[in-house]
Amino acid sequence: MATARERILDAAEDLITAGHVPPALDAVAAAAGVSKGGLLYHFDKQALLRALVTRAVHRFDERLAAAAERGVMAAAWLRLSVPEPGERTVYRAMLSMMRLTATGELDLPPEVGDAERRWERMLAAELGDPVQARLVQLVGDGLFLAALTGRPPAAAEVDGLLHRLGVRTAAGDGDA
């Protein structure tokens, strides 16, 4: 059974995904089945938002690390930048969380910067070129924003970008 802390984080994620950014603490407590005091025992509003960001970073990190082990992190980076149809709501919620950082309502936890530097090193190691690694990162950022604000790139379009960038798409693939 999930701990109260996990239920609170799950409830907050669900509320954010439903468009409640930032979620009201009363709503989070009710959705998690805990009292507001129970919620506040674990999190204040800033700590809750930081914990959600940290949780998302860890999930993304796990997916990228698994791809890096197979030698296809750059391809995974670009593919993860484009949400599947069922993930668009989650990605929009992430964009809303990013807006909170711009307004000063959320200070990103240090894990975000640590992860960004780690991912940059992992991409550079895989690609053998820090400039190409940075290019892949920036293309991924552009794909992410395009998917959220306009027409999501089709899988074939992403595959074309991967090929054009010389990114390996499968272990042993000769594209790179």
Which carries the bigger pLDDT value, residue 164 or residue 1? 164
CA distance 10 to 129: 39
| Distances, alpha carbon 173 to alpha carbons 31, 130, 154, 170, in Å | 46, 21, 22, 5
CA distance 22 to 40: 16
pTM exceeding the 0.85 threshold for the entire prediction: no
Q: Which CATH number fits domain 1-43: 1.10.150, 1.20.950, 2.30.29, 1.10.10?
A: 1.10.10
Angle among Cα 34, 88, 146 to the nearest 5 degrees reads 135
pLDDT digits (tens, 9 = 90+) for 70-123: 999 999 999 988 877 767 666 777 777 777 888 888 888 888 889 999 999 999
- In this prediction, residues 56-65 reach a mean pLDDT of 89
Domain ranges of the chain: 1-43, 61-176
Q: Which two tokens mark 87?
A: 């993930």
In the predicted model, is pLDDT for residue 176 greater than 50? no
Quick one: pLDDT at residue 106? 81
